[in-house]
A and B are shown apart, each in its own frame.
Chain A
């Protein structure tokens, strides 16, 4: 296996979608190639960072919803939504 294939199969490996043969070939490369080892660690870290950043309470969930925007939504509701009554 070359690095190129390693990188190509990386996600399938992490998702445990490789069959036994493919996995052992993959792991042999992983254990012998420092660059790919590092690549995988940084890849996993990037995925984790992406996930965590948006989940954090201090993250970009706005508590600054403008009242004018809320009013516009409620007004639009009265325009469409009065048929039920």
Chain B
């Protein structure tokens, strides 16, 4: 069976499950709501935590999302999966909350964008010059570093990065939910990615330095120099 066939089988199974669940929801059956909430709350919380970085806010957003979903369950068309529909709703609930909540002090994005010398050349930072040893960080450490770096991005950049690179919205959809123009989304996404790169450079560099200085069981095992050759 090809992967596409497998996917479409899984998809049609999910649709069949949705159909019977939806009947229960529309009849107001408690078990149907329980099943819906059991299946979707984990993933929805994960989305909300990424956007809001705060457990209380994340839970409030998920609760808001459910309430708005429950109110509009009669209008759910069934052209998307229930999980996809809820995903869209929780993303919107998070964006709403981000717009209204008090701004937290944030790193300036300017500090994270590349600098240039007077002659227009890239000013390569110390941390970007490090050896290519990132890949020998353990997966768990690497995940923690990346999550932490995403969390440090200023809200307006983090939001675009999450929507485009993580939640799978395309540029037009992102522009739509954020009420921005397409070029504005592209500019923000590019800056967000540059800032993420810089943050990762710095964090990995710091780790490597710390490991070097400790001179004990290092985080980084001996890696071959992976310095690339220019063509």
With A3-B121, A11-B189, A38-B128 given, is the CB distance from A85 to B28 under 8 Å? Answer: yes
- Give Cα A74–Cα B230 distance, bound, in whole angstroms: 60
Q: Which of A36, A37, A50 is in CB contact (< 8 Å) with B228?
A: A37
Interface size class of B (residues with CB under 8 A): 35 or more
B114 with A50: CB separation less than 8 A = no
With A37-B230, A65-B41, A85-B28 given, is the CB distance from A50 to B165 under 8 Å? Answer: yes
Give the A-B contact count at a CB cut-off of 8 A: 136
Interface size class of A (residues with CB under 8 A): 35 or more
- Give Cα A64–Cα B125 distance, bound, in whole angstroms: 40
Chain A residues near B146 (CB, 8 Å)?
Answer: 49-50, 53
Q: Which of A3, A55, A63, A82 is in CB contact (< 8 Å) with B116?
A: A3
| Closest residue on chain A to residue B120 by CB atoms | A2
B128 with A34: CB separation less than 8 A = no
Segment touching A, from B59-67, B173-181, B215-223: B59-67
B66 with A77: CB separation less than 8 A = yes
A56 with B143: CB separation less than 8 A = yes
Tell me the residues in window 39-73 of chain B with beta carbons closer than 8 Å to chain A beta carbons.
41-43, 45-46, 49-50, 59, 62-63, 66-67, 70-71, 73
Q: Which of B45, B49, B150, B228 is in CB contact (< 8 Å) with A38?
A: B228
Query: B89 in the interface, Cβ–Cβ < 8 Å?
Result: no
Interface of B is mostly: helix
A69 with B66: CB separation less than 8 A = no
Interface of A is mostly: helix
Query: B92 in the interface, Cβ–Cβ < 8 Å?
Result: no
Q: B133-145: contact bitstring with A at CB < 8 Å (1 yes, 0 no)?
A: 0100001101100
Chain B nearest Cβ from A44, distance in angstroms:
9
B37 with A70: CB separation less than 8 A = yes
- Give Cα A81–Cα B193 distance, bound, in whole angstroms: 42
B42 with A72: CB separation less than 8 A = no
Chain A residues near B63 (CB, 8 Å)?
Answer: 72-73, 76
Interface pairs A-B: 3 shortest CB-CB: A2-B120, A3-B122, A46-B197
Apart from A3-B120, A61-B42, A63-B42, what are 20 other A-B pairs with CB-CB below 8 Å?
A3-B122, A4-B120, A36-B122, A49-B200, A50-B146, A50-B165, A51-B165, A53-B143, A55-B166, A59-B46, A60-B46, A61-B46, A62-B49, A65-B42, A65-B45, A69-B59, A73-B63, A74-B30, A77-B33, A80-B70
